[in-house]
Structure 1
Amino acid sequence: MSPPISQPDRRAFLGLAGVGLAAMAAGLPMPAAARAQDQAGQFAVARRQDPRLVAFDNGQERDVERVRIEGVIPAALAGHFHRNGPAIFERAGVRYHHWFDGDGFVQRWRIQNGAVSYRSRFLQTSKFAVEQPAGAFLLPVSGGGIAPVAAFSGANSANPSNTSIISMGAESWALWEGGSPMRVNPDTLETLGLVRLNSEVDGAPFSAHPRRGEDGRLWNVGSLGPRAFLWRLSASGALEAFRIQPLGQEGYYHDFLLTQRSLVLVQCSTEARGERSLERGTFGATRGVAGKPMRVHVFDRETFELVREAELPSGFAFHFGNGWEEDDGTIHFDIAHSLDGDQFQEFFKPMTGRFPTWQAVSHRVTLPPKGAPRFERLHARVEFPKINPNYDARRNRFVYATTFKDDKRQDWFDAVVKIDVEQGRSQIFNYGAEWMVEEHVFVPRPGATREDDGWLVGTALNWVKQQTALTVFDAAQPDKPFLARAWLDNAMPLGLHGDFRRL
């Protein structure tokens, strides 16, 4: 049984769980507001000159009954492909400082009987309900620059529910790292209210990448300053256990690994610099420390007891593909690793009309019970790694990710890659120079027995045509021509993470 949360930890939810230093934000100086307006001006100038920046315009709700299809949708592919991401960046001439702060925007592509329909909706969070009628930003955010005008009562009052979306029973949950999940109707996209797991954990940090075990139970983590929040939920979404684990230093946990026996938490080479938090929020305060090793913390996934620790090369990682464990306790996992620990700073750039620099390289990590870990390079410049979900937490061979086919390209991904982590080989589909490629997910073929028997489904923005499209590939041969592509007649903002829910 998990212990009750202490008052210091409850206060940490307000100050450390994703919304920045809210108490300090109350005294935000007036020049910060002027800088937010200057952000809008800089973006407007850049937007007129660069059509690619449609990727960071405010989103618009839409319904399309029948989306135009190029090619043929596989008959056995049926379900809802959901995407979530930030999509209101500017109100009343004031623009957010950081891409990750925009209000949550869920898109639903319904695939059935060879046809595709589309719907998009903003999540009706308490933050959105206050700011939308006012037409102004009124609550503090993680990227700083917004002084609280409306009442601030904890993490969930500023929760934009803008980072990821998962299936949970008859509902979907929209996720943000600093607070509670938001319940969503997976078809209509109606916002159904916050997930209330337990009064003791209401508003606690619940990160963007929960992971399922073989029995359907769900594990997750949360960033809580120098502590980590560890979660376990039943397959139906009921709270089973939680733990607040001191780790001795500030950490940020967007993702983690789950194996058959362990929960693996990787602490990046960063530190929190409080002097920067007033102006640029917790994102601006999170800075890389050159030469500081990444720390690996391995917990028993049932008891949450810390089992062992290790070190990896200095750097930063937002995402991991999969983890699995041998009988002797050797743990294997893949990581999208960047040598530059200042990765949060890259995502201030889009709000002034520039593009982030993508540096992460795919590596395979082998963590033996004793001795030094092995850190083996797999593929250059990747992000958003995904696997066949039937292989979660057990041995897998293939990882799929976004990548660059054009080595000289800097703005956004132009390809998807299938990485064979056992053979060290890759297959790449090149979307081309006019595309900006988003995360793709693996959908297993019904009755499949091979790991790569299924489809790769994802969205991309064609900045030349100013249109967003959904593309379907044969996951066994993603380097071959796509099977089908469904075109919207307009562009949607680039999102973060998605999920496929079978009908």
Structure 2
Amino acid sequence: MSVEHGVKVDRRTFCLSSMAASMLAVAVGEKSMASTGAGDASALALDFAKAKRDDPRLIAFDNAVALDVVQPRIEGNIPSGLEGSFFRNGPALFERLGVRYRHWFDGDGLLQRWTIGGAGVQYHSRFVGTRKHRLEEEAGKFLLPTSGGGMPLLASATGADSVNPSNTSVIAVNGEMWALWEGGSPFRVTPNELESRGYVDLGDAAKGAPFSAHPRVGADGRMWNIGSLGSRVILYRLDRFGKLEHLKVQPLGQEGYYHDFLLTQRSIVLVQCSTASDGKSSIENGTFGSIRGVSGKPMRVHVFDRETFELVRQAELPGGFAFHFGNGWEEADGTICFDICHDANGDAMLEFFKPMRGAFPNWQAGSYRVTLPKTGAARFERLHARVEFPKVNPKFDTIRNRYVYASCINDPARTDWFDSVVKLDLESGKSQTFHYGADWMVEEHVFVPKAGALKEDDGWLVGTALNWKTQQSALTIFDASRPERKFLARAWLDSPVPLGLHGTFVGVTT
């Protein structure tokens, strides 16, 4: 393993620069916040309870309960050849003892496993057993500050992993599942029982460092990832067994939030949002509340060589905010192409304070295709309105792809959540949409290739959604070549599960 020093790299730099640890420093230093935050958090719990009585859709942001369901009710027929487990992660514990978090992204992570095979479907869920979760379960109350602010420090904390909720995504690594956040270490979980096994140790140089929830895996099984340090980025490369091969901290020249990134066959592509951190706001609303859009500031693209981690070039895109990307590839002449979910609202992070008080975020991100020539200005072409959670056939990661799948809002009058899944054709500009309906809140869907498939869209689209009217969650399976047709199968739980974030499918032979 090699560690290079674009700037000084040590454990203190990582710990004090991460999103969670900066919030921890505020909580320790601002006694007034600790005293007023608890009252505000209690008021949020009352406001949410009142709003939920009038609006059953808000079950989407209520506390979850871990479940084991051996045989969910099946509608339709599970397709032959689809065998494995669909894992999901997301914030799912928001209140304790009448105190509620301020920001949706603060909730403790709930890891779910939908097992699909000859015996039908089974469902299991467990909260990720981080140190934070374990201590607060034993105490029956919140003890540690969060990135959304407002929580006093009532237990010992020494760095980012002290407040790590492990609540954003999950990835299979060398026979284990890693529950991922973005401000600290991955957390190891067994794939079958979902038992917690502790934080992943990537070595002293990376201990407690930001490790994003969106690692990218190359064709050879190696993993690349980033860690957000504001005006700097940590670049990681791990071997196919999850061992650190290469780490480097690179300066970016300016501050800006970044959550996801892209990998091509030659490059790492990092896009910084048009944001800066407002120090005054961070005291009141935590680190999440300090991420504010800067009017007139373009988004910045930074391209690094994926083997050496050297900065190759930079470019600009229209100002705004982006959480996620589908896929990127690189032409022989150095032109880089990728798709992006772009929101012109640079204050997009603030939208996710709303669910904690009984309102809904305003999803306005559209899907765009970016063409970045080796020299000259980037092209920015709109593909579809109001989409998020883009996914592609994983066999086409880092190479030219034609199709992107995403959650979208089909009803123009709807503002609360996604109601559909869409297949976008990057070549023709056409789309195919399955509209779940007005009673549904649709989550991320992932592509599962068929064994031996040659066509890019030969596979299944698998994802979850919440029916707020019946108060039930369900797993739905589509033919990925024609998702606009009726689904192939649906597995129903008898109860709701809060809306989550990201997932992955692990086949039985993987």
Q: TM-score, normalised by structure 2?
A: 0.97
Structure 1 residue corresponding to 2:254, chosen from 237, 242, 249: 249
Q: How do 1:454-473 and structure 2 match up within 5 A?
A: 454-473=459-478
Q: How do 1:283-322 and structure 2 match up within 5 A?
A: 283-322=288-327
Report what 2:191 is aligned to.
186
What SS does structure 1 have at the residue aligned with 2:349?
helix
Structure 2 residue corresponding to 1:84, chosen from 81, 89, 100: 89
Report what 1:440 is aligned to.
445
* Residue 23, structure 1, aligned to residue 28, structure 2: no
Structure 1: give runs of 5+ residues left out of the alignment: none
Counterpart residue type for residue 24 of structure 1: V
Check whether the contact 2:5–2:248 (CA below 8 A) recurs between aligned residues: no
Provide the C-alpha distance between the structure 2 equivalents of 1:407 and 1:107, rounded to a whole number of angstroms: 31
Q: How do 1:287-366 and structure 2 match up within 5 A?
A: 287-366=292-371
Check whether the contact 2:445–2:464 (CA below 8 A) recurs between aligned residues: yes
Structure 2: give runs of 5+ residues left out of the alignment: none
Report what 2:267 is aligned to.
262
Check whether the contact 1:4–1:200 (CA below 8 A) recurs between aligned residues: no
Report what 1:60 is aligned to.
65
Structure 1 residue corresponding to 2:111, chosen from 106, 116, 119: 106
What SS does structure 2 have at the residue aligned with 1:347?
helix
Structure 1 residue corresponding to 2:213, chosen from 188, 208, 216: 208
Provide the C-alpha distance between the structure 2 equivalents of 1:330 and 1:467, rounded to a whole number of angstroms: 46
Q: 1:7 to 1:327 in 2, by over 3 A?
A: closer
User: How far off is 1:14 after superposition?
Assistant: 3.1
Provide the C-alpha distance between the structure 1 equivalents of 2:6 and 2:195, rounded to a whole number of angstroms: 32
Q: How do 1:482-493 and structure 2 match up within 5 A?
A: 482-493=487-498
What SS does structure 1 have at the residue aligned with 2:4?
coil
Check whether the contact 2:324–2:341 (CA below 8 A) recurs between aligned residues: yes
Number of aligned residue pairs: 503
Check whether the contact 1:174–1:181 (CA below 8 A) recurs between aligned residues: yes
* Residue 271, structure 1, aligned to residue 272, structure 2: no
Check whether the contact 2:15–2:209 (CA below 8 A) recurs between aligned residues: no
* Residue 475, structure 1, aligned to residue 480, structure 2: yes
Provide the C-alpha distance between the structure 2 equivalents of 1:113 and 1:8, rounded to a whole number of angstroms: 50
Provide the C-alpha distance between the structure 2 equivalents of 1:8 and 1:275, rounded to a whole number of angstroms: 28
What SS does structure 2 have at the residue aligned with 1:442?
strand
Check whether the contact 2:417–2:442 (CA below 8 A) recurs between aligned residues: yes
Provide the C-alpha distance between the structure 2 equivalents of 1:448 and 1:221, rounded to a whole number of angstroms: 31
* Residue 10, structure 1, aligned to residue 11, structure 2: yes
Report what 1:145 is aligned to.
150
What SS does structure 1 have at the residue aligned with 2:19?
coil
Counterpart residue type for residue 70 of structure 1: E
Alignment deviations for residues 13-47 of structure 1 (CA, whole Å, 9 cap, x no partner): 33331213322211242222211111111101101
Counterpart residue type for residue 315 of structure 2: A
Check whether the contact 1:400–1:418 (CA below 8 A) recurs between aligned residues: yes
Q: How do 1:65-76 and structure 2 match up within 5 A?
A: 65-76=70-81
What SS does structure 2 have at the residue aligned with 1:283?
helix
Check whether the contact 2:23–2:146 (CA below 8 A) recurs between aligned residues: no
Provide the C-alpha distance between the structure 2 equivalents of 1:4 and 1:309, rounded to a whole number of angstroms: 20
Alignment deviations for residues 275-303 of structure 1 (CA, whole Å, 9 cap, x no partner): 11112111000000122100000000000
User: How far off is 1:404 after superposition?
Assistant: 1.1
Provide the C-alpha distance between the structure 1 equivalents of 2:38 and 2:287, rounded to a whole number of angstroms: 17
Provide the C-alpha distance between the structure 1 equivalents of 2:12 and 2:98, rounded to a whole number of angstroms: 33
Q: 1:157 to 1:5 in 2, by over 3 A?
A: farther
Provide the C-alpha distance between the structure 2 equivalents of 1:48 and 1:72, rounded to a whole number of angstroms: 36
Report what 1:377 is aligned to.
382
Alignment deviations for residues 245-295 of structure 1 (CA, whole Å, 9 cap, x no partner): 111222322100100100000010000001111121110000001221000
User: How far off is 1:354 after superposition?
Assistant: 0.2
User: How far off is 1:4 after superposition?
Assistant: 6.7
Q: 1:455 to 1:365 in 2, by over 3 A?
A: same
Check whether the contact 1:80–1:109 (CA below 8 A) recurs between aligned residues: yes
Check whether the contact 2:7–2:249 (CA below 8 A) recurs between aligned residues: no
User: How far off is 1:306 after superposition?
Assistant: 0.2
Alignment deviations for residues 64-107 of structure 1 (CA, whole Å, 9 cap, x no partner): 11111000001200001000001110011110000000001001
Counterpart residue type for residue 414 of structure 2: R
Check whether the contact 1:155–1:179 (CA below 8 A) recurs between aligned residues: yes
What SS does structure 1 have at the residue aligned with 2:208?
coil
Check whether the contact 1:13–1:154 (CA below 8 A) recurs between aligned residues: no
Check whether the contact 2:41–2:100 (CA below 8 A) recurs between aligned residues: yes
Alignment deviations for residues 162-194 of structure 1 (CA, whole Å, 9 cap, x no partner): 000001121110001001100111111001111
Counterpart residue type for residue 311 of structure 1: E
Provide the C-alpha distance between the structure 2 equivalents of 1:303 and 1:364, rounded to a whole number of angstroms: 27
Alignment deviations for residues 379-412 of structure 1 (CA, whole Å, 9 cap, x no partner): 0000000000000000000000000110110000
Check whether the contact 2:11–2:204 (CA below 8 A) recurs between aligned residues: no
Q: 1:6 to 1:198 in 2, by over 3 A?
A: farther
What SS does structure 2 have at the residue aligned with 1:349?
helix
Counterpart residue type for residue 21 of structure 1: M
CA-based RMSD: 1.2
Check whether the contact 1:116–1:486 (CA below 8 A) recurs between aligned residues: yes
Check whether the contact 2:7–2:250 (CA below 8 A) recurs between aligned residues: no
What SS does structure 1 have at the residue aligned with 2:322?
coil
Structure 2 residue corresponding to 1:46, chosen from 42, 46, 51: 51
Counterpart residue type for residue 217 of structure 1: R
Structure 1 residue corresponding to 2:238, chosen from 233, 239, 246: 233
* Residue 195, structure 1, aligned to residue 196, structure 2: no
Which deviates more from structure 2 when the two are superposed, residues 278-287 or residues 249-258? 249-258
Percent of residue pairs bearing the same amino acid type: 63
Provide the C-alpha distance between the structure 2 equivalents of 1:500 and 1:183, rounded to a whole number of angstroms: 17
Provide the C-alpha distance between the structure 2 equivalents of 1:240 and 1:369, rounded to a whole number of angstroms: 28
Q: TM-score, normalised by structure 1?
A: 0.98
Provide the C-alpha distance between the structure 1 equivalents of 2:58 and 2:231, rounded to a whole number of angstroms: 37
Check whether the contact 1:324–1:331 (CA below 8 A) recurs between aligned residues: yes
Q: How do 1:151-190 and structure 2 match up within 5 A?
A: 151-190=156-195
Which deviates more from structure 2 when the two are superposed, residues 277-286 or residues 437-446? 277-286
Q: 1:178 to 1:124 in 2, by over 3 A?
A: same
User: How far off is 1:6 after superposition?
Assistant: 7.6
Alignment deviations for residues 184-233 of structure 1 (CA, whole Å, 9 cap, x no partner): 11111001111101111111100011001111110000101221111100
User: How far off is 1:7 after superposition?
Assistant: 7.1
What SS does structure 2 have at the residue aligned with 1:355?
coil
